[in-house]
Amino acid sequence: RRDVCERLPELPRGHAGRARLFFGSVELTDTASLSDIRVVDGSHLQLVIGAGRLALTASKCGTAMLWAVDVGVRLQTWRFDEMSPAVPAFSPDGTQALTAAGGGIATVWDVQTGEAVHCLDGHDDTLSVTAFSPHGAQMLTCCLKGVAKLWSADSGHCLHELCGHGSSILSASFAPDGSRLVTVSWDSSGRLWNAVT
- At 114-142, the pLDDT tens digits run 899 999 998 988 888 899 999 999 999 99
Is the confidence at residue 161, as pLDDT, over 60? yes
| Range name among 21-25, 57-61, 112-116, 192-196 with the lowest pLDDT average | 21-25
Which one, of 71, 66, 70, 128, lies nearest residue 91 by Cα?
Answer: 66
Q: What is the pTM of this model?
A: 0.72
pLDDT at 162 over 60: yes
Residues 6+ positions from 184 with CB-CB distance below 8 Å: 169, 170, 171, 172, 190
Q: Which of 97, 110, 104, 82 is nearest to 139 (CA)?
A: 97
41 pLDDT band, cuts 50/70/90, is confident
Task: Identify the weakest region by mean pLDDT among 74-83, 120-129, 137-146, 153-162.
Answer: 74-83
Alpha carbon distance 84, 20 (integer Å): 30
Q: What DSSP designation does 56 have? A: E
For residue 177, what pLDDT is reported? 94
Instruction: List the one residue out of 63, 100, 94 whose CA is nearest residue 78.
Output: 63
Residue 182 C-alpha from the chain's centroid: 22
**Position with higher pLDDT, 97 vs 53:** 97
Which one has a higher pLDDT value, 90 or 71? 90
> What residues contact residue 127 under an 8 Å CB cut-off, 6+ apart?
84, 85, 86, 100, 104, 105, 106, 141, 142, 143, 144
SS3 36: coil
